[in-house]
Amino acid sequence: MPRDTMTASARFDSDPEFRNPTPTPDRPSGYHRPVTTTHDPVQGSPPIVLTFAPSDPSGGAGLQADVLTLASMGCHPLSVVTALTVQDSRGAEALFAIEAEWVADQARALLEDMPVDAFKIGALPSVEIVAAIAEVLSDYPDVPLVLDPSLAGGGPESPLTDATMHALRDLLVPQTTIATPNGHELRLIAGEDEDEEPSIADCAGRLVDAGCEFVLVTGTHEASREIVNTLYGKGGVVRTDTWARLPGPFKGAGGTLSAAVAAMLANGLELAEAVREAQDYTWNALRKAYRPGMGQYLPDRLFWARDESDARDGKAEASPSADARGSH
């Protein structure tokens, strides 16, 4: 029986109670399959990850990119479509949001059939969809949730409405294991009306205070020669990773990172280690990015398979230098 997800949205508006690696000799730089995992498979299945995201026909971002990343990292991907889009490698031109009831029904059909080891949430185009997903996930509090708060909503350069951002912060952030915003997204989600220029640390602290266990702030949108990614928790900074900035522009880099974090959590890694492995995978996918169309470069999420094939053919590329990343 379809769930009344419009009721969940109405409750959001009216009921405040409802809104309540550094390379080493034995581990060279670069991600290599297979993954060592502590996952306890059910009847021999790989770890299962359910992702909520808009469809991207180009395969550069969105649902298709999540599925490719998760499969590349040894997981079985389940997918719930939140929107259909018209887009290519240059960007999106139009978006059609799926009815919230359909989003919830897609998820519940899968969850009643298969045990899930992690959730990943991408761009969400409406308050109704945010509320519907929040209601579904509230039944699975012990499953890790990775939130990639893309503010474009999967649409053509149109940021989410204030209402959708508030719903995201009030309904999903308290259920989130780790959020992966860039600095711009973080300030928009966690900023207050009286803020002039809130610091990244203050904004990350606000999300943690709101119930998000960890916040990985990526430095991709900062004007710097290197990218500095910082993981925050209840005690402040947990780890910082510095990466060489690669030429782009790239489509789907942030979604690749968040999907990789979900994959590593599903594989049984502790969170800080999952973040480290996911960054390593993403950086190498970007290092091997390709440009199949007239727009942006797409991460090569199967770079490791091509590296192994080249190695068998005697064409192995030298490993990137150790100064590609610094961690502490």
Task: Report the pLDDT value the prediction gives residue 25, as an integer from 0 to 100.
Answer: 35
Q: Which residue has the tokens 């904004």?
A: 203
Per-residue tokens: 282: 């993403």
Task: Report the pLDDT value the prediction gives residue 39, as an integer from 0 to 100.
Answer: 56
CA–CA separation, 239 and 235 (whole Å) = 11
Q: Which amino acid is it at 236?
A: G
Kindly list the distances between the CA atom of residue 255 and the CA atoms of 31, 109, 123, 171, 326, in Å, as whole numbers in the listed order: 17, 24, 9, 21, 22
Mean pLDDT of successive 10-residue stretches along the chain, which has 328 residues: 39 44 38 47 84 96 96 98 94 93 98 98 95 98 95 56 89 98 91 78 96 95 86 97 92 96 98 97 96 95 83 59 49
CA–CA separation, 187 and 174 (whole Å) = 17
Task: Report the pLDDT value the prediction gives residue 43, as an integer from 0 to 100.
Answer: 66
The count of other CB atoms within 10 Å of the CB of residue 187 is 17
CA–CA separation, 114 and 328 (whole Å) = 38
Q: Which amino acid is it at 226?
A: E
Task: Report the pLDDT value the prediction gives residue 248, as an integer from 0 to 100.
Answer: 85
Write the secondary structure of the chain as one string of H (helix), E (strand) and C (coil): CCCCHHHHHHHHHHCHHHCCCCCECCECCCCCCCCCCCCCCCCCCCCEEEEEECCCCCCCCHHHHHHHHHHHCCCEEEEEECEEEEEECCEEEEEEECCHHHHHHHHHHHHCCCCCCEEEECCCCCHHHHHHHHHHHCCCCCCCEEECCCCCCCCCCCCCCHHHHHHHHHHHHHHCCEECCEHHHHHHHHCCCCCCCCCHHHHHHHHHHCCCCEEEEECCCCCCCEEEEEEEECCEEEEEEEEECCCCCECCHHHHHHHHHHHHHHCCCCHHHHHHHHHHHHHHHHHCCECCCCCCEECCCCHHHHHHHHHHCCCCCCCCCHHHEEEC
